[in-house]
Chains A and B, each alone.
Chain A
């Protein structure tokens, strides 16, 4: 049970830090709304629902990237990551805590993005919300691991999108599919499968990513 206590403590630390410094979350919110406005101008007038849905998912992906890029900067700047790694907690607890933090941020961003989308483009159905929630799990899981990898490299912010985008193509397929197809069950199921596979993989391999 100390495992989950560790996770809770770490996650709470991240969220409290963000509440105090208020740099990442407002940026994500502003970014996603700006992106949606830009998309309005980049879509031709007879664009289909599929096109605007696709653009929403792209906006969500890049908003996630924005948040993830900051996920480990605080630790790296304060050299806290080494301390965390030496702490008597399972390394994978760090991953779980970080992912939960990212999940919360993504959730808040989407709480703003989806109403904005409904305002600018078209109605938001339950399938879109369900798909977004499921996708968040996968994006947070995979993104946290990749952010840790990028943080260990010299290229950092440059590297994260390169690592992230190929891996999350299935999430985009699942998300857009669930929104536009008549029978979203298969796509939601696929998103759940993605989440399961990559969450387990990320959880198991995180300790190798942060180990020296």
Chain B
């Protein structure tokens, strides 16, 4: 690969990397949301039982 081809590929890879990074961070957020929903459901059920 010539130098310029390397740089062009690098640019495309950077874009891909940022998008994938976003996906990873977002999956963290989703698991946190899941945990919170579970917590709140438990709290609500306890409230209802009481």
* A and B in contact, CB less than 8 Å: no
Instruction: Tell me the A residues contacting B by CB distance below 8 Å.
Output: none
